[in-house]
Amino acid sequence: MKLIFELSGENPTLPFAELGCVGTVLDQRLQVAVAECPDPERARRLAMTHAVLEYLGECEPDLAAFKDLLQDLSLETRQPFAGRAKKIHGGCNERNPCSQKEFERMIGTMIAGPVSLKNPEVEFRAILSEDKCYFGKVLFTFDRGSYDVRNPGKRDFFHPGVMMPRMARTLVNIAGVHEDNIMLDPFCGTGGILIEGHLLGARVIGSDFDPLMVRGSRQNIPGSDLMLADATRLPICDHAVDAVVTDFPYGQSVCIKKTDTMDTLYGDALEEIRRVLKKGKKAVVVTHRDISSIAAEYFTVVQRHDQRVHKSLTRRVLVLVNEQERCV
């Protein structure tokens, strides 16, 4: 099914990257993408999407072209409906001088059926971004409240500096984690990334070299597979896991075993991740600086993303694919 995704504007690349877990992106503009998705319900897992629409058509972002599109579609509904429009500002090709209200009025007048702005059962939406107007019927929107409930400060065990749930879910999505997959986080900390994998139905395995973190993770994810282990020497068989998602230690207050530098730790950990990860599968790793050159020694680097947290921390996200059958 062809869908339109109205995306979050908080990051320029991550919202597009996570769409890969639900379908194939066919077209994109600023904060909007069109993708072919075999199961629209899978899109409910997305973390950086505002709304999902059934694709009905697209045109130039002007009223004349939009009127032609609506005439060609010749839509009608017996359910009370509302017409909405959203203009996304910015981008190098922005050219949509008309107001949102004009587009909304045109939807209301050119679709046959009862209009209800207060209690609509169906919503048709036009999204104007750069040089395109995408038009569709809203299938569902996202409630951010579920992530607020999982705020790290509300967990049984909390430690400062942890990743927020929406970012953790985004990384799990980018890794392509699905139900019944085995997902590993070798630097699991308080277990935030593991929680998101677990909620998607994956079997999650976590390890940490700090006993406090392992005990805390067990409080946050009861019954999960957690172990005290060195991430450079994991007690896991070769090519046993379907995905790895991890936030590497940044060096401020980390237990490091048998390593002299953070670069050595990163390299040794990446080599071990390659050993336990199945061929063709993804590892998504986060650091405080670019380690692409180190990662390229062990993996194919397929994506790079930056996420600014605050003025002294920008997360560097690498998406890696294991192309090797065996590690030697």
Whether the predicted pLDDT of 327 surpasses 50: no
Q: Which residues have CB under 8 Å from 271's CB, separation 6+?
A: 232, 298, 327
Alpha carbon distance, N-terminus to C-terminus of the chain: 43
As a residue count, the chain comes to 328
Is the pLDDT at 97 greater than 90? The verdict is no
What are 156's two structure tokens? 């049984």
Q: Let me know: does 113 contact 79? Beta carbons within 8 Å.
A: yes
CATH class of 149-321: alpha beta
Domain with CATH 3.30.2130.30 in the chain: 2-141
Cα–chain center distance at 179: 16
What is the mean pLDDT of the segment spanning 158-174?
A: 95
Inform me whether the pLDDT recorded for 207 exceeds 80.
yes
pLDDT of 92 > 70? The answer is no
**If pLDDT is split at 50, 70 and 90, which confidence band does 260 have?**
low
Q: What is the mean pLDDT of residues 286-299?
A: 96
Topology (CATH level 3) of domain 2-141: VC0802-like (3.30.2130)
Least confident of 225-229, 234-238, 259-263: 259-263
| β-bridge pairing 122-129 and 81-88 | parallel
Read off the pLDDT band of 93 (50, 70, 90).
low
pLDDT of 147 higher than 80: yes
Output the pLDDT for position 200.
97
Tokens (6 digits) for 226: 């957690």
Residue 144 pLDDT exceeds 70: yes
Q: What is the DSSP letter of 78?
A: S
Largest alpha-carbon pair distance within the chain?
71
The pLDDT assigned to 11 comes to 96
Specify the pLDDT at position 150.
Answer: 92
Residue 183 has what pLDDT? 98
Confidence at residue 90, expressed as pLDDT on a 0 to 100 scale: 67
Neighbour tally for 154: CB within 10 Å = 9
The average pLDDT across 131-152 equals 93
pLDDT given at position 99 = 84
pLDDT at position 328, please? 41
pLDDT at 324 over 90: no
Q: Which of 70-84, 239-253, 271-285 has the lowest mean pLDDT?
A: 239-253
* For the chain, percent of residues with pLDDT exceeding 90: 86
Three-class secondary structure of residue 25 per DSSP: strand
Task: Report, as an integer, the average pLDDT of 34-54.
Answer: 98
Average pLDDT rounded to a whole number, residues 178-202: 97
Burial class from Cβ neighbours inside 10 Å (0-12, 13-18, 19+) for residue 298 reads buried
Model-level pTM? 0.93
Report pLDDT for 303: 98
For residue 253, pLDDT beyond 60: no
Mean pLDDT of the chain: 93
From the number of C-beta atoms within 10 Å of its C-beta (0-12, 13-18, 19+), residue 108 rates as middle
CATH 3.40.50.150 domain span(s) along the chain: 149-321
**Contacts for 109 with CB less than 8 Å, ≥ 6 apart:** none
Q: Provide the pLDDT for residue 109.
A: 96
